[in-house]
Protein backbone atom coordinates (compact mmCIF):
# COMPACT_ATOMS: atom_id res chain seq x y z
CA UNK A 1 0.00 0.00 0.00
CA UNK A 2 1.66 3.19 -1.19
CA UNK A 3 -0.70 5.73 0.40
CA UNK A 4 0.14 7.16 3.82
CA UNK A 5 -1.33 9.63 6.28
CA UNK A 6 -1.01 13.29 5.14
CA UNK A 7 -0.73 12.34 1.45
CA UNK A 8 -2.96 14.21 -0.99
CA UNK A 9 -5.33 11.94 -2.93
CA UNK A 10 -7.95 12.39 -5.63
CA UNK A 11 -11.26 10.52 -5.32
CA UNK A 12 -11.98 8.56 -8.51
CA UNK A 13 -15.54 7.28 -7.94
CA UNK A 14 -18.60 8.01 -5.83
CA UNK A 15 -20.47 11.15 -4.76
CA UNK A 16 -17.23 13.03 -4.09
CA UNK A 17 -15.62 12.17 -7.44
CA UNK A 18 -12.87 14.60 -8.43
CA UNK A 19 -12.23 15.94 -4.92
CA UNK A 20 -8.60 16.31 -3.86
CA UNK A 21 -8.04 16.09 -0.12
CA UNK A 22 -5.65 14.95 2.61
CA UNK A 23 -5.61 11.41 4.06
CA UNK A 24 -6.47 11.44 7.78
CA UNK A 25 -6.27 7.73 8.66
CA UNK A 26 -5.27 4.49 6.90
CA UNK A 27 -6.57 1.01 7.84
CA UNK A 28 -4.16 -1.41 6.17
CA UNK A 29 -5.95 -4.60 7.26
CA UNK A 30 -9.27 -3.58 5.68
CA UNK A 31 -7.76 -1.68 2.75
CA UNK A 32 -9.66 1.50 3.58
CA UNK A 33 -8.78 5.08 4.40
CA UNK A 34 -10.46 8.19 5.74
CA UNK A 35 -10.09 11.29 3.61
CA UNK A 36 -10.71 14.80 4.96
CA UNK A 37 -14.19 16.05 3.96
CA UNK A 38 -15.03 13.01 1.79
CA UNK A 39 -17.84 10.45 2.30
CA UNK A 40 -19.52 12.44 5.07
CA UNK A 41 -22.54 10.93 6.81
CA UNK A 42 -24.84 12.07 9.60
CA UNK A 43 -24.86 10.16 12.86
CA UNK A 44 -27.92 10.90 14.95
CA UNK A 45 -26.95 11.37 18.59
CA UNK A 46 -29.30 11.06 21.53
CA UNK A 47 -29.02 13.56 24.36
CA UNK A 48 -26.65 12.46 27.10
CA UNK A 49 -24.41 13.98 29.74
CA UNK A 50 -21.51 13.83 27.32
CA UNK A 51 -23.57 15.34 24.50
CA UNK A 52 -26.32 17.47 26.16
CA UNK A 53 -27.44 19.07 22.88
CA UNK A 54 -28.00 15.85 20.91
CA UNK A 55 -28.76 16.17 17.20
CA UNK A 56 -26.92 15.22 14.01
CA UNK A 57 -23.15 14.75 14.02
CA UNK A 58 -21.43 14.88 10.63
CA UNK A 59 -18.44 12.55 10.31
CA UNK A 60 -16.23 11.05 7.62
CA UNK A 61 -16.53 7.34 6.85
CA UNK A 62 -13.81 5.13 5.32
CA UNK A 63 -13.58 4.61 1.56
CA UNK A 64 -11.94 1.81 -0.38
CA UNK A 65 -8.27 2.28 -1.23
CA UNK A 66 -8.89 1.42 -4.88
CA UNK A 67 -11.26 4.38 -5.22
CA UNK A 68 -8.51 7.00 -4.76
CA UNK A 69 -5.32 7.92 -6.58
CA UNK A 70 -2.26 9.58 -5.07
CA UNK A 71 -1.60 13.14 -6.24
CA UNK A 72 2.07 13.70 -7.06
CA UNK A 73 3.49 16.70 -5.16
CA UNK A 74 5.79 17.59 -8.10
CA UNK A 75 3.52 17.38 -11.17
CA UNK A 76 0.18 17.79 -9.32
CA UNK A 77 -1.55 14.96 -11.21
CA UNK A 78 -3.31 11.87 -9.91
CA UNK A 79 -0.92 9.02 -10.60
CA UNK A 80 0.07 5.48 -9.85
CA UNK A 81 3.16 4.90 -7.76
CA UNK A 82 6.06 2.51 -7.91
CA UNK A 83 8.86 1.49 -5.60
CA UNK A 84 12.57 1.56 -6.40
CA UNK A 85 15.89 1.23 -4.64
CA UNK A 86 18.22 4.22 -4.54
CA UNK A 87 22.01 4.14 -4.80
CA UNK A 88 22.41 4.24 -1.00
CA UNK A 89 20.19 1.14 -0.62
CA UNK A 90 17.04 2.85 0.65
CA UNK A 91 13.64 2.21 -0.92
CA UNK A 92 11.40 5.06 -2.11
CA UNK A 93 8.02 5.71 -3.71
CA UNK A 94 8.02 7.43 -7.09
CA UNK A 95 5.49 8.95 -9.48
CA UNK A 96 4.94 6.86 -12.63
CA UNK A 97 4.14 9.99 -14.70
CA UNK A 98 7.03 12.33 -13.90
CA UNK A 99 9.41 9.81 -12.27
CA UNK A 100 9.89 12.09 -9.23
CA UNK A 101 10.58 10.62 -5.79
CA UNK A 102 7.69 11.00 -3.32
CA UNK A 103 9.27 9.70 -0.11
CA UNK A 104 11.19 6.86 1.44
CA UNK A 105 9.52 3.55 2.29
CA UNK A 106 12.41 1.74 3.98
CA UNK A 107 15.85 2.71 5.25
CA UNK A 108 19.08 1.64 3.58
CA UNK A 109 19.86 -2.08 3.59
CA UNK A 110 23.24 -3.67 2.89
CA UNK A 111 21.91 -6.02 0.18
CA UNK A 112 20.54 -3.18 -1.96
CA UNK A 113 23.53 -0.83 -2.00
CA UNK A 114 24.71 -0.14 -5.54
CA UNK A 115 28.26 -1.29 -6.24
DSSP string, 57-74: EEEE--EEGGGEEEEPTT
Note the CATH architecture for domain 1-71.
Roll (2.30)
Confidence at 115, pLDDT banded by 50, 70, 90: low
Q: Where are the domain boundaries for CATH 2.30.30.30 in the chain?
A: 1-71
Q: Integer distance in angstroms from the first to the last C-alpha of the chain?
A: 29
Which sign, positive or negative, has the C-alpha torsion 85, 87, 93, 94? negative
Flag whether pLDDT at 7 surpasses 70. Answer: yes
From residue 111, how far is each of 4, 82, 106 by CA, in Å?
26, 20, 13
With the CA atoms of 16, 21, 25 and 31 taken in that order, what torsion angle do they form, in degrees rounded to the nearest 10?
50
- Give the model confidence (pLDDT) of 64-101 as tens digits: 999 999 999 999 999 999 999 998 889 999 999 999 99
Q: What is the mean pLDDT of the chain?
A: 92
Please say whether the beta carbons of 21 and 9 come within 8 A: yes
Amino acid sequence: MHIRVDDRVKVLVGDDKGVEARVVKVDRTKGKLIVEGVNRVYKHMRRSQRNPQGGRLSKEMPIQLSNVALVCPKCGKATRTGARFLADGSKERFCKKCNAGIGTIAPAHVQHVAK
